[in-house]
């Protein structure tokens, strides 16, 4: 009796100890990053202003704002989305609605996993070899965006596939018995009920695309261009590369400037991610079946 109680007490102590240890490990991952974010805000926030966002960089990028980089990033992301979303959604439709359980389907899934795992700098090499040179787009927004599109394609495919699969199979069958074709069923029933999940995935993709640097370095992003690109065949500045450039390549940059760029970049990414998470939570509450 007494022994059993002692054992229980010992177990309870170990239990508590384990809980605290694991919580500690969790916090060790989170707290340092939060502290660093605090530093970024502390040093970068004073330099953030409306002018910072709307002015061009001045005096060898040691003064002025980030307007061309901001607009460049917007352009890169938009063109990348135009390329990757249609292909990614279509591929996800194939995998969720059509793909039979064969070696080819396995191969497609394997390709998607590997596409997501290829290092970003290798994507950059591919972009140079394929889009810049082979297809002759030169170093341009088009080449850089296509490189980004290839790189983030798995994000769209996987998130879309999952939201399509979440639509119950009975709905498809009910629709088929009415004489709807597979495509009519997808168009009228499956896609409308998966669209919010797909959008969540697209937002995630945007946040991923905004921060990418290596894939655009040699395919279309320029170190310094004090004006806006006129077409997709022009080069452009980008926020991510701008941060790299002013923090490593340019002498005599005032300390606050790169902090402000890093902060702006992080803000965009975190806001997009928070939006996609909020979107998901709202969706989970608003059930349609």
Q: Which helix (H) or strand (E) holds 63?
A: strand 63-64
Q: Which is nearer to other proteins, 31 or 58 (CB)?
A: 31
> By C-beta, is 58 or 113 nearer to other proteins?
113
Contact 234, 15 (CB under 8 A): no
State the DSSP code for 215: H
Q: Least separation, in Å, of the C-beta of 260 and other proteins?
A: 11
Q: How far is the CB of 229 from other proteins (least distance, A)?
A: 19
Give how far the C-alpha of residue 246 lies from the chain's centroid of Cα atoms, to the nearest Å: 23
- Nearest approach in angstroms of CB 228 to other proteins is 22
Least gap, CB of 175 to other proteins (angstroms): 7
Burial class (CB in 10 A: 0-12, 13-18, 19+), 2: exposed
Nearer to other proteins, 45 or 107 (CB): 107
Q: Which residue has the tokens 């989170």?
A: 30
- Got the DSSP string for 242-283? HHHHHHHT-TT--THHHHHHHHHHHHHHHHHHHHHHHHHHHH
Q: Indicate the SS3 state at residue 227.
A: coil
Please report how close the Cβ of residue 71 comes to other proteins at its closest, in angstroms.
18
**Are 276 and 200 contacting, i.e. CB atoms less than 8 angstroms apart?**
yes
119 φψ region: left (φ > 0), alpha (ψ -120 to 50), beta (else): beta
- The whole-angstrom separation of Cα 279 and Cα 29 is 26
> In the complex, what is the shortest distance from the CB of residue 233 to other proteins, in angstroms, rounded to a whole number?
19
- 59 vs 288 by CB, closer to other proteins: 288
Minimum CB–partner distance for residue 225 and other proteins (Å): 15
CB nearer to other proteins: give 212 or 234: 212
Q: Are 62 and 257 in contact (CB under 8 A)?
A: yes
CA atoms within 13 A on the CB side of 150: 23
């Amino acid at each position: 009796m007494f022994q059993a109680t002692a054992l229980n007490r010992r177990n309870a102590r170990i239990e508590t100890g384990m809980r605290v240890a694991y919580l500690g490990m969790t916090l060790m991952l989170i707290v340092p990053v939060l502290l660093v974010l605090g530093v970024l805000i502390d040093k970068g926030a004073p330099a953030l202003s409306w002018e910072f966002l709307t002015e061009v960089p001045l005096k060898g990028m040691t003064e002025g704002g980030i307007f061309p980089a901001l607009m460049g990033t917007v352009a890169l992301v938009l063109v990348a989305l135009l390329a990757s979303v249609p292909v990614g959604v279509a591929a996800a439709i194939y995998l969720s609605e059509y793909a039979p359980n064969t070696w080819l389907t396995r191969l497609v899934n394997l390709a998607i996993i590997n596409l997501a795992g290829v290092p970003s700098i290798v994507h950059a090499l591919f972009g140079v070899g394929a889009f810049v040179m082979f297809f002759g787009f030169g170093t341009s927004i088009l080449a850089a965006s296509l490189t980004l599109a290839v790189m983030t394609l798995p994000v769209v495919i996987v998130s879309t596939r999952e939201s399509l699969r979440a639509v119950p199979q009975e709905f498809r069958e009910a629709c088929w018995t009415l004489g709807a074709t597979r495509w009519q069923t997808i168009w009228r029933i499956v896609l409308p009920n998966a669209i919010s999940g797909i959008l969540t995935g697209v937002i995630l993709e945007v946040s991923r695309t905004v921060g990418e640097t290596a894939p655009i370095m040699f395919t279309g992003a320029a170190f310094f261009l004090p004006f806006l690109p006129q077409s997709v065949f022009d080069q452009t500045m980008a926020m991510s590369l701008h941060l790299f450039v002013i923090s490593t390549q340019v002498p005599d940059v005032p300390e606050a400037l790169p902090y402000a760029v890093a902060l702006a970049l992080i803000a965009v990414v975190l806001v997009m991610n928070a939006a996609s998470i909020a979107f998901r939570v709202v969706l989970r509450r608003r059930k349609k079946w």
